[in-house]
Amino acid sequence: MIHPQDEQSLQRLLGVETPPKSVLDEYRIRLALFHRDGHSGPLGTIALIDLVRSQGLKPPVIPKDKTVVDWRTVATDGSVYVDVPMFGDLKRGTYCGMGTHGVLHVKFPGDEMVYECCPPAVKLVPPEDANPEPLEPEAVLTAEGAAAMLADWQKVEAGTAVWFDWQGDIVPGKYCGIDEKASPRMPHALVSIEGKEEPVSVYAGAVTLT
């Protein structure tokens, strides 16, 4: 995906309606590098990207098991297990379907409540591993890490332009504030997105300042 303003700039610079594929391919690589860098030093992100690309380097390839799941095609009859980081632990539950704004509905053993979970945080359990017990724990956001993330976003002004992971795509939006309904151990930001009347709740770790 190319940002509309970047596309217009390329059209002006090149004098064409559709930029060449080679330019778009390079754009996607540099955009991916840009979003991987949360902070930078004196040289700055753009200069570092130029340095990296001058050496022919690219972002690491995402492993196949990290591919985005099309949750709309996943069974919702309770036969599909998922792993979700909850309150510092990795909990295994059953997938119940998609809710509004793209959140996922998950139920956990012994709990009648249906939880709303952010898609990037939910891991689909392979059928051969499906059982009530969780897999080996993965890296889960610590209490200190969650508090630091929350504090950082509380400093950001409403209306700030951001990029974020939305149903498998990196899309632009506007930061609206912290989602007070989300667990402090898994901070969520409220972000406005084109085509949505209300802001969507997105895991703060999947949101990047432009």
Select the more confidently predicted residue: 96 or 206: 96
Q: Where in the chain do CATH 2.30.30.140 domains reside? A: 65-129, 143-209
Least confident of 14-23, 122-131, 184-193, 195-204: 122-131
From the candidate CATH numbers 3.40.1360.10, 1.10.357.10, 2.30.30.140, 2.40.30.20, the one assigned to the domain spanning 143-209: 2.30.30.140
- Report pLDDT for 78: 80
Domain made up of 65-129: CATH architecture: Roll (2.30)
41-85: pLDDT as tens digits: 777 778 878 888 888 887 766 554 455 788 888 888 888 888 887
Question: For residue range 133-158, what is the model confidence (pLDDT) as tens digits?
Answer: 544 333 345 667 777 888 888 888 99
Mention every residue, 6+ apart, whose C-beta is less than 8 A from residue 196: 101
Q: Residues 3-9: what's their mean pLDDT?
A: 81
**Contact of 184 with 142, CB cutoff 8 Å:** no
Taking residues 18-28, what's their average pLDDT?
A: 86
